[in-house]
Amino acid sequence: MSTLDLGSEFVPVRIAVLTVSDSRDFSDDRSGRLLVERIVAADHIVADRKIIEDDRSHIAAQLKLWIDAENVDVIISTGGTGLTGRDVTVEAHRDVYEKEIDAFAAVFAVISMQKIGTSAVQSRATAGVARGTYLFALPGSPGACADAWDNILKMQLDYRHRPCNFVEIMPRLAETKRRK
Protein backbone atom coordinates (compact mmCIF):
# COMPACT_ATOMS: atom_id res chain seq x y z
CA MET A 1 0.00 0.00 0.00
CA SER A 2 1.16 3.54 -0.63
CA THR A 3 2.32 5.85 2.14
CA LEU A 4 3.67 9.35 2.59
CA ASP A 5 7.27 9.57 3.81
CA LEU A 6 7.11 12.63 6.03
CA GLY A 7 10.85 12.34 6.65
CA SER A 8 11.53 13.38 3.05
CA GLU A 9 11.42 16.98 1.90
CA PHE A 10 8.50 18.12 -0.26
CA VAL A 11 9.51 19.13 -3.80
CA PRO A 12 7.16 21.62 -5.49
CA VAL A 13 6.38 20.91 -9.13
CA ARG A 14 5.69 23.61 -11.77
CA ILE A 15 2.37 22.82 -13.45
CA ALA A 16 0.70 24.44 -16.47
CA VAL A 17 -3.08 24.09 -16.83
CA LEU A 18 -4.75 24.07 -20.25
CA THR A 19 -8.51 24.17 -20.67
CA VAL A 20 -9.66 23.02 -24.10
CA SER A 21 -13.01 24.60 -24.96
CA ASP A 22 -14.73 26.59 -27.68
CA SER A 23 -17.11 28.18 -25.18
CA ARG A 24 -15.31 28.74 -21.86
CA ASP A 25 -13.40 31.74 -20.58
CA PHE A 26 -11.67 32.25 -17.23
CA SER A 27 -14.91 33.40 -15.58
CA ASP A 28 -16.74 30.10 -16.17
CA ASP A 29 -13.87 27.59 -16.46
CA ARG A 30 -14.77 25.51 -13.40
CA SER A 31 -12.44 22.60 -14.24
CA GLY A 32 -9.39 24.77 -14.82
CA ARG A 33 -10.13 26.73 -11.65
CA LEU A 34 -10.53 23.50 -9.65
CA LEU A 35 -7.17 22.23 -10.87
CA VAL A 36 -5.44 25.53 -10.06
CA GLU A 37 -6.97 25.51 -6.56
CA ARG A 38 -5.83 21.94 -5.93
CA ILE A 39 -2.34 22.61 -7.30
CA VAL A 40 -1.91 25.61 -5.01
CA ALA A 41 -3.40 23.77 -1.99
CA ALA A 42 -0.84 20.99 -2.55
CA ASP A 43 1.98 23.61 -2.45
CA HIS A 44 2.90 23.20 -6.11
CA ILE A 45 3.41 26.12 -8.51
CA VAL A 46 0.97 27.13 -11.25
CA ALA A 47 3.45 27.91 -14.02
CA ASP A 48 0.82 29.07 -16.51
CA ARG A 49 -2.85 28.72 -17.38
CA LYS A 50 -4.52 29.08 -20.76
CA ILE A 51 -7.81 28.35 -22.50
CA ILE A 52 -7.60 27.23 -26.11
CA GLU A 53 -10.18 26.18 -28.69
CA ASP A 54 -10.83 22.57 -29.68
CA ASP A 55 -8.30 22.48 -32.50
CA ARG A 56 -5.76 19.67 -32.68
CA SER A 57 -2.91 21.69 -34.16
CA HIS A 58 -3.44 24.61 -31.74
CA ILE A 59 -3.54 22.26 -28.74
CA ALA A 60 -0.39 20.44 -29.86
CA ALA A 61 1.38 23.77 -30.49
CA GLN A 62 0.58 24.98 -26.95
CA LEU A 63 1.72 21.67 -25.46
CA LYS A 64 5.01 21.96 -27.37
CA LEU A 65 5.55 25.53 -26.13
CA TRP A 66 5.17 24.38 -22.55
CA ILE A 67 7.28 21.26 -23.10
CA ASP A 68 10.09 23.56 -24.24
CA ALA A 69 9.58 26.00 -21.36
CA GLU A 70 12.14 25.77 -18.57
CA ASN A 71 9.53 26.67 -15.96
CA VAL A 72 7.06 23.81 -16.71
CA ASP A 73 7.48 20.28 -15.34
CA VAL A 74 3.90 19.06 -15.81
CA ILE A 75 1.02 19.94 -18.12
CA ILE A 76 -2.56 19.12 -17.18
CA SER A 77 -5.24 19.70 -19.78
CA THR A 78 -8.97 19.46 -19.21
CA GLY A 79 -11.59 19.00 -21.90
CA GLY A 80 -11.76 17.40 -25.31
CA THR A 81 -11.25 13.79 -24.22
CA GLY A 82 -14.68 12.51 -25.20
CA LEU A 83 -16.00 10.86 -28.34
CA THR A 84 -17.51 13.72 -30.34
CA GLY A 85 -16.04 15.18 -33.50
CA ARG A 86 -14.64 18.22 -31.68
CA ASP A 87 -12.90 16.09 -29.03
CA VAL A 88 -9.30 16.15 -30.29
CA THR A 89 -7.27 16.72 -27.12
CA VAL A 90 -6.16 13.08 -26.89
CA GLU A 91 -4.93 13.13 -30.48
CA ALA A 92 -3.06 16.40 -29.87
CA HIS A 93 -1.42 14.93 -26.77
CA ARG A 94 -0.39 11.80 -28.65
CA ASP A 95 1.10 13.99 -31.38
CA VAL A 96 3.70 15.15 -28.86
CA TYR A 97 4.17 12.13 -26.56
CA GLU A 98 7.45 10.26 -26.65
CA LYS A 99 6.05 7.67 -24.25
CA GLU A 100 2.48 7.07 -23.18
CA ILE A 101 1.69 6.27 -19.54
CA ASP A 102 -0.88 3.57 -20.30
CA ALA A 103 -1.67 2.76 -16.68
CA PHE A 104 -2.91 6.31 -16.06
CA ALA A 105 -5.95 5.70 -18.26
CA ALA A 106 -6.57 2.33 -16.62
CA VAL A 107 -6.38 3.70 -13.08
CA PHE A 108 -8.53 6.69 -14.02
CA ALA A 109 -11.13 4.33 -15.51
CA VAL A 110 -11.26 2.29 -12.29
CA ILE A 111 -11.75 5.46 -10.22
CA SER A 112 -14.40 6.74 -12.65
CA MET A 113 -16.27 3.42 -12.59
CA GLN A 114 -16.70 3.79 -8.85
CA LYS A 115 -18.31 7.22 -9.36
CA ILE A 116 -20.20 7.05 -12.67
CA GLY A 117 -20.45 3.34 -13.45
CA THR A 118 -20.21 2.19 -17.03
CA SER A 119 -20.33 5.78 -18.31
CA ALA A 120 -16.58 5.73 -17.58
CA VAL A 121 -16.05 3.96 -20.91
CA GLN A 122 -16.72 7.26 -22.69
CA SER A 123 -13.59 8.91 -21.28
CA ARG A 124 -10.32 8.83 -23.15
CA ALA A 125 -8.17 10.33 -20.39
CA THR A 126 -4.52 9.83 -21.22
CA ALA A 127 -1.02 10.67 -20.03
CA GLY A 128 2.47 10.67 -21.43
CA VAL A 129 5.96 12.11 -21.34
CA ALA A 130 7.71 14.37 -23.84
CA ARG A 131 11.23 15.77 -23.49
CA GLY A 132 11.20 15.47 -19.71
CA THR A 133 7.70 16.90 -19.20
CA TYR A 134 4.68 14.98 -17.94
CA LEU A 135 1.39 15.53 -19.78
CA PHE A 136 -2.07 14.56 -18.51
CA ALA A 137 -5.31 14.94 -20.50
CA LEU A 138 -8.38 14.92 -18.26
CA PRO A 139 -12.07 15.14 -19.11
CA GLY A 140 -13.70 18.56 -18.95
CA SER A 141 -15.98 17.97 -15.98
CA PRO A 142 -14.96 19.33 -12.58
CA GLY A 143 -15.83 15.96 -11.02
CA ALA A 144 -13.46 14.10 -13.32
CA CYS A 145 -10.69 16.63 -12.67
CA ALA A 146 -11.20 16.29 -8.91
CA ASP A 147 -11.13 12.48 -9.21
CA ALA A 148 -7.90 12.52 -11.22
CA TRP A 149 -6.18 15.02 -8.92
CA ASP A 150 -7.38 13.64 -5.59
CA ASN A 151 -6.86 9.97 -6.42
CA ILE A 152 -3.83 9.92 -8.74
CA LEU A 153 -1.99 13.16 -9.41
CA LYS A 154 -1.85 14.55 -5.88
CA MET A 155 0.05 11.45 -4.78
CA GLN A 156 2.14 10.83 -7.88
CA LEU A 157 3.27 14.47 -7.99
CA ASP A 158 4.37 14.35 -4.33
CA TYR A 159 8.03 13.41 -3.97
CA ARG A 160 7.29 11.91 -0.55
CA HIS A 161 4.80 9.36 -1.90
CA ARG A 162 6.03 5.77 -1.55
CA PRO A 163 6.77 3.26 -2.90
CA CYS A 164 7.33 5.49 -5.97
CA ASN A 165 6.17 8.69 -7.65
CA PHE A 166 6.57 10.70 -10.84
CA VAL A 167 8.71 13.42 -9.24
CA GLU A 168 11.59 11.17 -8.18
CA ILE A 169 12.21 10.06 -11.77
CA MET A 170 11.89 13.53 -13.34
CA PRO A 171 15.68 14.01 -13.62
CA ARG A 172 15.86 10.81 -15.67
CA LEU A 173 13.00 11.53 -18.07
CA ALA A 174 15.22 13.34 -20.54
CA GLU A 175 18.18 10.92 -20.46
CA THR A 176 18.05 10.52 -24.22
CA LYS A 177 18.76 14.24 -24.64
CA ARG A 178 22.06 13.84 -22.79
CA ARG A 179 23.19 10.94 -25.00
CA LYS A 180 22.90 12.91 -28.25
Q: What is the pLDDT of residue 3?
A: 87
Instruction: Let me know: does 125 contact 81? Beta carbons within 8 Å.
Output: yes
pLDDT at 104: 96
DSSP SS3 for 81: coil
pLDDT in tens, the chain (180 residues): 788 888 889 999 999 999 999 898 989 999 999 999 999 999 999 999 999 999 999 999 999 999 999 999 999 999 988 888 889 999 999 999 999 999 999 999 999 989 888 888 888 999 999 999 999 999 999 999 999 999 999 999 999 999 999 999 998 887 755 444
Q: How many CB atoms lie within 10 A of CB 23?
A: 10
pLDDT at res. 176: 57
Cα–Cα distance between 69 and 142 in angstroms, integer?
Answer: 27
Average per-residue pLDDT for the chain = 93
pLDDT at 180: 44
CA distance 24 to 37: 18
End-to-end CA distance of the chain: 39
Q: Residues 169, 173, 177, CA angle at the centre, nearest 5°? A: 145
H or E segment at 144? helix 142-148
Residue 154 C-beta-side C-alpha neighbours within 13 Å: 19
Query: pTM to 2 decimals?
Result: 0.94
Residue 131, phi-psi category: left (phi > 0), alpha (psi -120 to 50), beta (remainder):
left
| pLDDT at residue 7, rounded to an integer | 87
Task: Supply the pLDDT for residue 179.
Answer: 41
